[in-house]
Amino acid sequence: MRPFLLLGFLLSNITATAAIEPISTSIAVGMAAALTGFLATYQNVFYYFHECCRPEWISFNRTGLEVALDRKLFGQHVASRVVQKAVTGFMNNKNPKKPLVLSLHGWTGTGKNLVSQLIAENIYKEGMASSFVHQFVSTAHFPHLNQIEDYKSQLQQWIKGNVTNCPRSMFIFDEMDKMHPGLIDCIKPYLDYYEHLDGVSYRQAIFIFLSNAGGEHITQVALDFWKAGRDREEMKLLDLEPALSLSVFNNKQSGLWHTSLIDKNLVDFFVPFLPLEYRHVLLCGMAEMSAKGLKPDQDVVDQMARDLVYFPKSEKIFSGKGCKTIGGKLDYYT
């Protein structure tokens, strides 16, 4: 029997007993008070062991996110700064006007999935395993074009149901560049500036889109900086975001092609992830060895990094797969 139903049942029986035996009323009241206290304690214990939409399970760790980005994300000074400021500002705002919407762009292996994970780990006690973090992969969840109307309905119901259950929900959409055009527009109302939609407020939710789209533009800007002899760390969001959002909007393979999410300015930040250089691959390799419980070995990591493919073909500046395959490759070299 649920604790609150049990409380009602026992209190009704105590009251009935007190009505029959007036002399025991004070005892009955004392018993009811004790029982109420017991069930309150039981409830707190229940919340402690079972994930709930409460501060015990959902609490933003600003310092934790900052440290994690610094120690685990390499070569992404622009993305790191934008994410830190955007998430911190949103989580500290007690009355946001809309959900936080981040669109992460860049080639594979540059850290987009890692950043989503780090955000989740520093908001939800259970991290990516939290029942309030929902991840969609386009090729797995929305594979068939002829079922797009069903996907729209299911996606709307899923988001509404989960935000109703917990306003502080997070939704991650991976492989946006493989999503059917027009599908993502179905969630536009939930990302807008509405106080309530059918009695539900979406303003505390977080939406993150991950896409390879725009990678060409980001790489070109990085290459131009390199050719001009400018330091990579000189790049700022302003050097990348305006043209990035435009290229994504006009790219039929972006998943955000001509979407109202961009047209209505509902995406808060287009976050660029720069292509990684040899030095960043080394850092990834050392970190991966530590994560595997191995003693970091510069010689081993250097040998592995040298055998990777780099582009453009003539200059060989950027890693073709970023840090994506490093975990598996290290097994070969160690």
Q: Which residues are documented as binding site for ATP?
A: 106-113
Is there a contact between 270 and 193 (Cβ–Cβ < 8 Å)? no
Write out the binding residues: 106-113
Phi-psi region of 29 (alpha: psi -120 to 50; beta: other; left: phi over 0): alpha
